[in-house]
Structure 1
Amino acid sequence: MFNPSSDDVRRFFCEAYRKQQARAPLTPIEAMAADWIGHHPEYHAVLGDVETALTRDYQVDGAQANPFLHLSMHLSIDEQISIDQPPGIRALATELTLKLDDAHAAQHEIMECLGEMIWNAQRNGTPPDGVAYIEAIKRRL
Structure 2
Amino acid sequence: MFNPSRDQARRFFIDAWQKYRARGVLTPLEQIAADLVKEHPEYHTVIEDPEAADKDFSPEDGQINPFLHLSLHLAIHEQLSIDQPPGLRGAYDDCLAVRGDRHAALHDVLESLGETIWEAQRSGAPLDAAAYVERVKRRARVA
Specify the TM-score bucket, using the shorter chain as the normaliser: over 0.9
Cross-structure match for 1:17: 17
Distance (Å, rounded) in 1 between the aligned partners of 2:61 and 2:80: 30
Query: What is the TM-score of this pair, normalised by structure 2?
Result: 0.94
Cross-structure match for 1:134: 133
Distance (Å, rounded) in 2 between the aligned partners of 1:89 and 1:62: 32
Q: How many pairs align?
A: 140
Distance (Å, rounded) in 2 between the aligned partners of 1:62 and 1:17: 26
- Does 2:120 align with 1:117? no
Query: What is the TM-score of this pair, normalised by structure 1?
Result: 0.95
Q: Percent identity?
A: 53
RMSD: 0.9
Distance (Å, rounded) in 1 between the aligned partners of 2:97 and 2:29: 25
Distance (Å, rounded) in 2 between the aligned partners of 1:30 and 1:76: 13
Structure 2 residue matching 1:61: 3-state secondary structure: helix
Structure 1 residue matching 2:84: 3-state secondary structure: coil
Q: Deviations over 1:88-133 (max 9, x none)?
A: 1111112211211111100111111100000000010000000111
The answer as to whether partners of 2:94 and 2:137 remain within 8 angstroms in 1 is no
Cross-structure match for 1:32: 32
* Gap runs ≥5 in structure 1: none
* Gap runs ≥5 in structure 2: none
Which 4+ runs in 1 deviate beyond 6 A? none
